[in-house]
């Protein structure tokens, strides 16, 4: 591979974007050949990050680097195509924009996914709109997919199908994905790397395996909630019979005997890490 082809397909470097009452401030690198999931509470900055990456939002500071637009596939909440075009017209018109457009593949994908060719873009259901955008991405040899909440609002079968399509996309070595989701089961299934946002900042970013290995979900009785435990207990929840909290794995070794430890989920990390230690 050349130096150019091994460079990450998307990098945000020291990006800052101010809105009233909110500041996004982050750097992010999507490694070539991998899937990065972006998680965080409502309003943590996932969509602003994605829009900045796509050049739809102009940052106040920092740089973004992105693959050529012809190698980029985007799946947003609403397809960014002319709403009055039919699906077939959309394919025909986009074919002029993408040098590597594969009209047969577009027709096969949309038909196979039940997206009617004669239906106007504005008349598509949310799931159909998602599939149309994905069909476009897969018909022009995109090497990077950027997806904002691709599975939210989809029924379980459609969600499963979409995750399968994304897994198949990733069978090519040089393909990469950045996607945001509230559904952290999707992260566990697809993401090689997870970045957790809180109030516009990255609070954790690593391979999914290393992130999960860096913390334990601890649970104990009232007597085991010592000051030492409180000092390392992220997102502590106390209840009548005891407590549970996320604990850094290296601190877990020094916990009182009797404290039960489990491997956390990405949900546990996304919900509890922003709360930090020593908060009931």
Ligand X SMILES: Nc1ncnc2c1ncn2[C@@H]1O[C@H](COP(=O)(O)OP(=O)(O)OP(=O)(O)O)[C@@H](O)[C@H]1O
User: Could you list the residues that contact ligand X (CB under 6 A)?
Assistant: 19, 22, 40, 42-48
Residue where the block lists tokens 């393909």:
175
For ligand X, the closer of residues 19 and 97 by Cβ is: 19
For residue 273, the minimal CB distance to ligand X (Å) is 15
Contact present, 106 and 140 (Cβ < 8 Å) = no
For ligand X, the closer of residues 47 and 70 by Cβ is: 47
For residue 100, the minimal CB distance to ligand X (Å) is 31
Which residues have C-beta within 8 Å of that of residue 253, sequence separation ≥ 6?
Answer: none
Crossing angle of helices 103-112 and 87-95, rounded to 10°: 160
Judge residue 106's burial from the number of C-beta atoms within 10 Å of its C-beta, 0-12 exposed, 13-18 middle, 19 or more buried: buried
For residue 148, the minimal CB distance to ligand X (Å) is 7
CA dist 9 and 32 (Å) reads 6
For ligand X, the closer of residues 45 and 59 by Cβ is: 45
For ligand X, the closer of residues 22 and 97 by Cβ is: 22
Q: 10 Å Cβ neighbour count for 267?
A: 15
For ligand X, the closer of residues 198 and 244 by Cβ is: 198
For residue 20, the minimal CB distance to ligand X (Å) is 6
**What does the CA dihedral 82, 77, 168, 67 come to, rounded to 10 degrees?**
70
Contact present, 103 and 95 (Cβ < 8 Å) = yes
For residue 18, the minimal CB distance to ligand X (Å) is 9
């Amino acid at each position: 591979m050349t130096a150019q082809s091994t460079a990450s397909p998307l990098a945000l470097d020291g990006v800052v974007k101010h809105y009233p009452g909110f500041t996004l401030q982050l750097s992010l690198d999507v490694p070539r050949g991998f899937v990065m999931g972006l998680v965080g509470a409502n309003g943590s900055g996932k969509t602003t990050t994605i829009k900045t990456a796509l050049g739809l939002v102009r940052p106040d500071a920092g740089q973004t680097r992105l693959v050529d637009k012809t190698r980029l596939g985007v799946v947003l909440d609403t397809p960014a195509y002319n709403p009055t075009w039919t699906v077939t017209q959309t394919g025909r018109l986009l074919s002029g924009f993408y040098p590597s457009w594969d009209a047969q593949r577009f027709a096969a994908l949309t038909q196979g996914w039940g997206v009617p060719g004669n239906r106007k873009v504005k008349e598509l259901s949310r799931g159909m709109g998602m599939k149309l955008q994905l069909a476009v991405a897969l018909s022009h040899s995109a090497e990077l997919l950027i997806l904002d909440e691709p599975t939210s609002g989809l029924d379980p079968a459609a969600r499963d199908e979409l995750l399968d399509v994304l897994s198949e996309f990733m069978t090519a070595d040089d393909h990469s994905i950045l996607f945001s989701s509230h559904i952290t089961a999707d992260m566990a299934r697809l993401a090689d790397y997870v970045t957790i946002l809180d109030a516009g900042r990255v609070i954790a970013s690593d391979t999914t395996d290393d992130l999960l290995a860096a913390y334990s979900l601890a649970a104990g009785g009232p007597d085991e909630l010592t000051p030492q435990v409180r000092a390392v207990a992220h997102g502590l929840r106390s209840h009548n019979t005891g407590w549970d909290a996320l604990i850094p794995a290296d601190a877990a070794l020094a916990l009182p005997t009797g404290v039960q430890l489990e491997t956390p989920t990405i949900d546990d990390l996304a919900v509890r890490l922003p709360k930090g230690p020593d908060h009931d």
